Amino acid sequence: MQKRFLGAGFPAADVLLLGSDARKMNLVVRLRAVSPDSRKPVLFLGHMDVVQALRSDWTTDPFQFVEKDGYFYGRGTQDMKDSDAAMVATFLRLHREGYKPRRDLILALTADEEGGKFNGASWLVRQHRELVDAALRHQSGRRRRRVGSRPRGGGRCRGH
C-alpha cells in the first residue's frame, strides 16, 4: 500500500511504514490541509492483521469460505479489511482529485489489533504520538461477531 500512495504522488514524508517488527509494519498516511492552522487532524484508524484460526474453535473450516443459511463463514469474513480498502481508496481519490481539507487527515493502518500493545495503535501512540495525535478518531469495523456462529442479541463477541 505504501507503493500505491507514493505512486499516486503523496510525498514520501507523508507515507510512513513504522513498527517494532520488520515483517509487520504500520502504515501512516497524511493528507495535508489547504493551509496549516491550529486545528488537530482527524484520524482514520484500521488494522490489517488477521487473528490466529484454530480449526477446533470453528463450526466450519476457517480457511474455506462458506455461505450457509444467509451467513458467511470463514476467517476474516466479519473483519474490517473492506473498511481498510475503502479508506485507502478514499484517501487516494481525494489526493488524485486535488482535495485539500481544512485540517489534516491521517490514515493509520496498524499491523496489530486496534488496541494492540506490541505493534498496533497503542504502540503508535507510545512511539510516534506526533504522527497520530488527532482531535477526532474514526475507527471502522467496530461491530464484531465470532465467525462460524450466529450473532446473539446485543453482546460483543471475541474474534473475527
Residue 38 to residues 17, 32, 62, 127: CA-CA distances in angstroms? Answer: 26, 13, 48, 23
64: part of which helix (H) or strand (E)? Answer: none
Query: Which residue do the cell numbers 488524485 mark?
Result: 96
92: which residues sit within 8 A by CB, 6+ positions away? 4, 5, 8
How many angstroms from the chain centroid is the CA of residue 68?
Answer: 28
Residues designated as active site: 49, 113
